[in-house]
């Protein structure tokens, strides 16, 4: 009998096997270019190199934007999971949806009022 767990494990095994096979074939059959000094230089879209090391610190204001992106991205995924699991649709499920959406809107209003995104557009 195929339980959901067995189906998931078969699907996961097929994905891991395909990725492993693709990587192995690439390692065996793929091109193997010689490492020259030109190959080891950093590539900057055809522009001349600005810094020798090309390493600069990222301003801290961009980390806040990255964390906000992850937060809202995860909340969107939770909405998809909720939509798939909301069967049968009861009054409690609708209440939880509106509660979650209200919290999402409150977070968005906080980000807007705190002017977090203005720091990276200046």
Tell me the pLDDT tens digit for each residue of 39-69.
777 666 666 666 666 566 777 778 888 888 8
| CATH for 100 | 1.20.58
Asked if residues 101 and 46 have their Cβ atoms less than 8 Å apart, the reply is no
Please tell me the total count of domains within the chain.
1
Name the strand (E) or helix (H) holding 91. Answer: helix 91-114
Tell me the pLDDT tens digit for each residue of 24-41.
999 999 988 888 887 777
Rg (CA), the chain: 24
Residue 16 pLDDT greater than 90, yes or no? yes
Residue with tokens 């919290």: 103
Asked if residues 28 and 21 have their Cβ atoms less than 8 Å apart, the reply is no
Q: What is the pTM of this model?
A: 0.47
Domain limits at 112? 4-121
Asked if residues 58 and 72 have their Cβ atoms less than 8 Å apart, the reply is no
């Amino acid at each position: 009998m195929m339980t959901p767990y067995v189906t998931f494990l078969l699907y996961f095994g097929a994905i891991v096997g395909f990725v492993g096979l693709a990587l192995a074939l690439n390692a065996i059959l793929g091109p193997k270019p010689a490492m020259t000094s030109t190959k080891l230089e950093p590539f900057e879209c055809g522009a001349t190199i600005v810094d020798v090391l090309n390493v600069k610190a990222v301003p801290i204001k961009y980390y806040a934007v990255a964390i906000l992106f992850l937060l809202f991205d995860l909340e969107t995924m939770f909405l998809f999971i909720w939509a798939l699991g909301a069967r049968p649709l009861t009054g409690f499920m609708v209440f939880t949806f509106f509660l979650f959406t209200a919290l999402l809107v409150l977070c968005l209003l906080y980000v807007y009022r705190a002017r977090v995104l203005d720091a990276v557009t200046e």
